[in-house]
Structure 1
Amino acid sequence: MIEDYEQMVDVIFETDFGKTSVFLFDLEKYIHVRMGSVINLPLKVGDILPSTSTSLECLQTGEKVQRLVGAEALGVAYTGVAYPIRENGVIIGGIATTGSNEREYALQNLPSLAKELSESLEQVSAAIENIAASAQALADGGQALTLQSQEVNEKALQMEEVVEYINSVASDTKVLGLNASIEASRAGDVGRGFAVVASEIRAMAISSATSAKDIRKIIGGIQGHVGKMTMELEKVGGNTQEVSAAVEEIGATIESLSGSAMALSALAAKL
């Protein structure tokens, strides 16, 4: 009797983890129904076999019937398969299954998707390497500029020493000029010419002292700008190092994902 095949329906249903719908039917109606979780057909035990169903067609032809049903019917494309059941060469009913085509679609597209993922990750990895190289170059450039700014600051300090020497010479020259003026005045008419020279020496000393003072201000300004530039370069260097560290971390993640993509591609090739 056809009812003896109910256990077969349950086995098929459980084998696919309850996703595929399985139907057992006699020559007129469905007698055992296990509705899967993916395809939910409006069928129940006792329903008459629809005139357009694979179930009725397999009874009429005595052959396996397989039919692809588009998503317009239930919102999900599925494949219906029906087999006739014979006893002593006589058809007594049949068994039918309906399964979603999404798995087949996924299996067909999985290799190409895995390949695309792997190629995309390779491109991202290459871009990450370029960013890392640029960040390192920027860090190296910042470090070089920092060293140069330190050299400029050292030169400024050396200039400060020169200015200090000029200021000292100007001060001494001013004193000498003053003493020469005093001695010229004591010499009377004989020392008038020398008095003019002494006056010029004093004027030159005052001018040199003023110039030294201006140069010192300029040097101070240079040192101030160099100091600010050094601080900014140190900040840039710190940020660049953080960027480099972040890029390395991203690169490691990309490498891990690439490995997963390759494993996925290998798995897809076996399906």
Structure 2
Amino acid sequence: MIEDYIQLVDVIFDTDFEKTSVFLFDLEKYIYVRMGSVIKLPLDVGTILPATSTSLECLQTGNKVQRMVGAEILGISYTGVAYPIRENGVIIGGIAVTGSTERESSLRKLPSLSKNLSESLQQVAAAIENIAASAQALADGGQALTIQSQEVNDKAFAMGEVVEYINSVASDTKVLGLNASIEAARAGEVGRGFAVVATEIRTMAISSATSAKDIRKIIGGIQGLVGKMTIELEKVGGNTQEVSAAVEEIGATIETLAESAIELAALVENI
């Protein structure tokens, strides 16, 4: 009796975790239906075998019938397979199974997708390494500029000392020029030529003192700018170091993902 195969239907249904639909039918109709969670056909117990079904075709041909059905009918593609059941060489009915082909299709695509993902991640990892190297180079350059700016500041300080010396010399020269003018005046007509020289010396001393004052202001401005530049460079250097560390961490994460993608591809090939 065809009803004796009901337990077989349950076994098939449970084996695929209730996803596959399984039908038991006699020569006219479906007598037992276990509708899966993925493919839901409009078939119930008592439904007459459709004229275009694999169930009826397997009864007519006496052979297994397998048919691919596109997603245009149920919104998802699936495979239908029907097997005739014989007793004493006589067909008394059959079992039909319908299962989604999406999983098989996904499994076929998964290796290539995993490979593409792995290659993309490797490319990103390489780009991250370049960025990290550039960030480190920028940090090193900023540190070098900081050192150089400090050297400039030291040179400016040394120039300030030189200017102070020039200013001191100019002051002394001015006094000497004044004393020379006094002595020239005492000498009368004899010291007239010397008085002219003394006046020029005083003029040069005053000019030198004025120039030294201007140079001192310029050096002060340079020192102020260098100080600000040093502070900004130190900030940039600190930020760049943080960026470099963050990029290296991202690179390590991407490398881990790339390794996982490779392992996934290997696992898929073994499925």
Query: Which category describes the TM-score, using the shorter chain as reference length?
Result: over 0.9
> Aligned residue for 1:117?
117
> Aligned residue for 2:212?
212
Output one character per residue of 1:162-195: Cα deviation in whole Å (capped at 9) or x when no partner.
Answer: 0000000011111111112222222222222222
Output one character per residue of 1:178-229: Cα deviation in whole Å (capped at 9) or x when no partner.
Answer: 1122222222222222221211111111000001011111111211221222
Task: Select between 97-106 and 177-186 the one with higher mean Cα deviation.
Answer: 177-186
* CA drift at 1:4: 1.5
> Aligned residue for 1:42?
42
Output one character per residue of 1:86-134: Cα deviation in whole Å (capped at 9) or x when no partner.
Answer: 1222111111110011011011111111111111111111111111111
* 3-state SS, counterpart of residue 31 of structure 1: strand
> Aligned residue for 2:138?
138
> Aligned residue for 2:225?
225
Distance 1:159 1:196 in 2: 33
1:28 corresponds to 2:28: yes
> Aligned residue for 1:68?
68
> Aligned residue for 1:256?
256
Distance 2:125 2:38 in 1: 39
Output one character per residue of 1:145-172: Cα deviation in whole Å (capped at 9) or x when no partner.
Answer: 1111111111101100000000000111
> Aligned residue for 2:93?
93
1:194 corresponds to 2:175: no
One-letter code of the match for 1:241? Q
Gaps of 5+ in 2: none
Aligned residues: 271
1:104 corresponds to 2:104: yes
* CA drift at 1:69: 0.5
Identity percentage of aligned residues: 83
Distance 1:11 1:237 in 2: 69
Distance 1:184 1:163 in 2: 31
Distance 1:249 1:46 in 2: 64
Distance 1:9 1:117 in 2: 41
Distance 1:12 1:241 in 2: 62
Q: Which of structure 1's runs of 4+ aligned residues deviate more than 3 A?
A: none
One-letter code of the match for 2:164? E
* 3-state SS, counterpart of residue 40 of structure 1: coil
Distance 1:88 1:203 in 2: 138
* 3-state SS, counterpart of residue 33 of structure 2: strand
What TM-score do the two structures reach when normalised by structure 1?
0.97
CA RMSD for the aligned pairs?
A: 1.1
One-letter code of the match for 1:180? A
Distance 2:241 2:254 in 1: 20
> Aligned residue for 1:13?
13
Gaps of 5+ in 1: none
* 3-state SS, counterpart of residue 50 of structure 1: coil
Distance 2:35 2:252 in 1: 46
> Aligned residue for 2:153?
153
Distance 1:199 1:217 in 2: 27
* 3-state SS, counterpart of residue 44 of structure 1: coil
* CA drift at 1:71: 0.8
What TM-score do the two structures reach when normalised by structure 2?
0.97
Distance 1:204 1:108 in 2: 95
